[in-house]
Amino acid sequence: MARSQLSVGLIGYPVDHSLSPVFQQAAFDALGIPARYELWPTPAEVLDERVRWLRGPEVLGANVTVPHKAAVFTRVDQVTERARRAGAVNTVVNRGGVLYGDNTDVPGFLAPLRERGLPLGELAVVVLGAGGAARGILVALAEAGCRQVTVANRTAERAHELAVEFGVVAAPLDQRLEPCLRRADLLVNATSVGWDGASLPIDAALLDALPATALVYDLTYRDTPLLQVARRRGLATIDGLGMLVYQGAESFRLWTSQEPPLEVMWRAALAARQAHEQASRRS
């Protein structure tokens, strides 16, 4: 007798741009798990109903994306320490009707850096942005024990609040950031600036301050103007696709208690991104 199909999906609004259904479904299929990963567009006014629905016996859980990570944090029954520190949940696991919240963005962000063999504890890092994504990155950098972290934001007050909470340095997002960049081993763009394919989160000239050995990491999973400018200056770069796949792999592990088929997920994610880029060029 065939096993009944389980449900898991992505909660956010909008969600139609996401690559998660492609590589997560590939993982379920590769391991023969009878689950369907779906897109669950959820406006704020129906979020409570959606979270209640996650408690059903046929639901494994969910991923959560903008703008609901902080709101879901307050609606689950238990959260992990890293989710608590980030103040956000991006993965919900349903265990017998009890909802557990985690933040897999934290290990997802660190995984590509560890793959490169970087000495994380020795890094000086500059993080651009002070929103929810930046909070998750600061949790990850604290977990990695980075020796110096600076958070820079256009609204100085928000950067200062994060700096006090996480015990890091705050800096303005202008020319006064230059001395921090001169000492940086890693520059992280945790803003959404660049998703449009045209904008830069900082003045391009500021990238000249980075050491030749610095790494530029953009959380956006496309080739952003920041990454393009950095490469033209001879700097190494990482886009956000690795973080997306690795956080998804950790979510998969939490839902299924099985090791995710990473190679399968990577192939599917790369193919899906290429298809999206081709479709964008045609439109």
Could you give the residue numbers annotated as active site? 69
Determine the Cα–Cα distance for residues 63 and 20; give it in Å rounded to an integer. Answer: 9
The β-bridge relationship of strands 59-64 and 91-95 is antiparallel
Sequence length of the chain is 283
Phi, psi of 84 (to 5 degrees): -60, -45
Q: What angle do CA 216, 217, 222 make, to 5 degrees?
A: 115
Contact (Cβ atoms closer than 8 angstroms) between residue 198 and residue 223: no
Count of beta carbons in the 10 Å neighbourhood of residue 32: 7
- For residue 96, give every residue at least 6 positions away whose Cβ sits within 8 Å of its Cβ, in sequence order, or none: none
Q: How far is CA 143 from the centre of its chain?
A: 16
Which helix (H) or strand (E) is 187 found in, with range? strand 186-189
- DSSP-assigned letter for residue 138: H
